[in-house]
Every structure is written in structure tokens, then in C-alpha cells.
Amino acid sequence: MESEERKQKYNEYVKRITPDNKLFTDVFNAFWIGGIICLMGQIWVAIFTYFGMNKEDAAAWTTLVLILESVILTGLNIYPKIAKKGGAGCLVPITGFANGVVAPAIEFKAEGQIFGVGAKIFTIAGPVILYGIFSSWIVGVIYMILQAAGIL
């Protein structure tokens, strides 16, 4: 009997704290907020090309500026608020990756430069970097084998 009452209380607790997901609203917010981030990127590309850069250099500088903007907004605790509203629209672009690298470092800066910032800066981005490099290595080896076999 006590077990059933306990389960019921637990289910009520879970229902009370579980956020109410509204699929259309979440998708819409991800779309327009992610769109604004991409629009900012296009504006930076246009500015850089207007001042004489070629497209490749403008794209590289745009990436750097977007990362810088994300780092600054994360440090000011603004990007997490935007990401909470925008969801995947903020997490997928390069700004989300920069936020993922910087946020743990900021959170643990009180621990010091080595055990705080240095140890925690790649806790979220580390696996992405690791498996990105590893998978690109695997693809490179496969490509090399296919080239040696005359397939490519």
C-alpha cells in the first residue's frame, strides 16, 4: 500500500516539474533565432566583402567574429537566455559550439586557471573535437585506401 502511494506521489512530482513542450512554438523559436544568427553572419560577410576581402577571407573573419560575439554574450550571461528560448536554433551554429566551450570555463573560473578554466573548458566540446578528428581520420584512411585501389 505504501509503495502505491509513493509511486503516485512520485508521478505527480514528475508531472509537476516536467516542462510543457510545445512542439510548434519550440520549432518556430529555433527557426527565427537561428535565422537571426545566420543573418548576422551574412551581414558580417557583406561588410567584410564591401571593404575588399575575398569571399573566403570574409567567411573566415565572419566565423571569428561570431565566435567572439558568442563568447562575450556567454560571459555576460546573455547567450544562455537566448539559447533557452531558441533551443537548437542557437546550439547548431558555430555560436552554440563557442558557448559550449566557454560556459564551463566561466562556471569553474573560481577554481583557478588550471583546475577551473583549464580543466573544464573542453568538458562539453572535448568529445565533439575528439570524435570529429577521429572520424575525419577514419574517412581519410578509407579515402587513401580507395585511391590506392584505383577506385577514386
State pLDDT tens for residues 61-94. 999 999 999 989 988 989 989 988 888 888 777 8
Model confidence at 1, pLDDT cuts 50, 70, 90, reads low
What's the whole-number mean pLDDT along residues 19-43?
A: 90
pLDDT in tens, 8-27: 888 888 888 887 778 899 99
Residue type, 133: I
* Nearest of 81, 80, 86 to residue 27 by alpha carbon: 86
Are the C-beta atoms of 136 and 128 separated by less than 8 Å?
A: no
Which residue ranges make up each domain of the chain?
2-121
**Residues 76, 96: Cα–Cα separation, whole Å:** 15
